[in-house]
Amino acid sequence: MTYIAFEGPEGSGKSTQAARLAKKTGALLTREPGATQLGKSIREALLSNSGAEISAESEAILMAADRAQTTREIVVPAMKRGQHVITDRSVYSSFAYQGYGRGLELEYLRELNRLALADVWPQYVVLIDLPAEAAMGRLNRELDRFELAGEDFHQRVNAGYKAMAQANPDSWIVVDGSGSVKQVEERVWGKVRFIFEG
């Protein structure tokens, strides 16, 4: 069974595409943060724009805590049942956001998440590629803490995603996120169908 992560900047449409692929293939859909009862509390704390200060280190540790719970409660049991798993965001969001975006050392984040993941890493990462300014322009709701972090932050996050994709071409699948939802869905399927069809 295959564990696939969807990644991308805020507003890229990755959540929509993750959900569509899961429905099409019968995979279990999960997300980070917030898929478990513990995760819902962590998500609320991390995304709240109440003005409370959260350090980059605290962000990373809270994300890892959510990931540890999700891995053990949702991901591993599903794969043991013989089910593909698709996650909307994953450990690579921590590398992009807390690493490239906030400036934490990537090696520190790898070690923190090695423990959290129990070595159950996504086998493939689908990156919905869209310039940060175009992606942010799609958001027409009240923005959360990360979405309000500023253009420079989001440019660094996007650059981080591109760097990871370039460094790991065998496991990262880059999909152009421009155009309609249907157009992007067709591009995603064209690039990932080999996983499901053998």
Q: Looking at the predicted structure, is the pLDDT value of residue 114 above 90? A: yes
Spell out the residues 6+ positions from residue 123 whose beta carbon is closer than 8 angstroms to its own.
2, 3, 4, 171
- Give the Å distances, CA to CA, from 92 to 8, 24, 26, 104, 190: 10, 24, 24, 13, 23
Strands of 85-185 (E only): list them.
85-88, 124-129, 172-176
Q: Tell me what pLDDT residue 139 has.
A: 66
Query: Which two three-digit tokens encode residue 89?
Result: 């965001």
In terms of pTM, does the model score above 0.75?
yes
CA distance 134 to 70: 31
CA 159 to chain centre: 15
- Sorted by where each begins, the domain ranges of the chain are 3-197
Q: What is the mean pLDDT of residues 28-48?
A: 96
Q: How many percent of the chain have pLDDT more than 70? A: 95
Strand partners, 85: 3, 28
- β-strand 172-176 against 28-31: which pairing, if any? unpaired
Nearest to 103 by CA among 56, 143, 58: 56
CA distance 116 to 66: 9
Backbone phi, psi, residue 142, to 5°: -65, 130
Q: Tell me what pLDDT residue 149 has.
A: 82
Q: How confident is the model at residue 84 (pLDDT cuts 50, 70, 90)?
A: very high
Question: What architecture is the 3-197 domain classified under in CATH?
Answer: 3-Layer(aba) Sandwich (3.40)
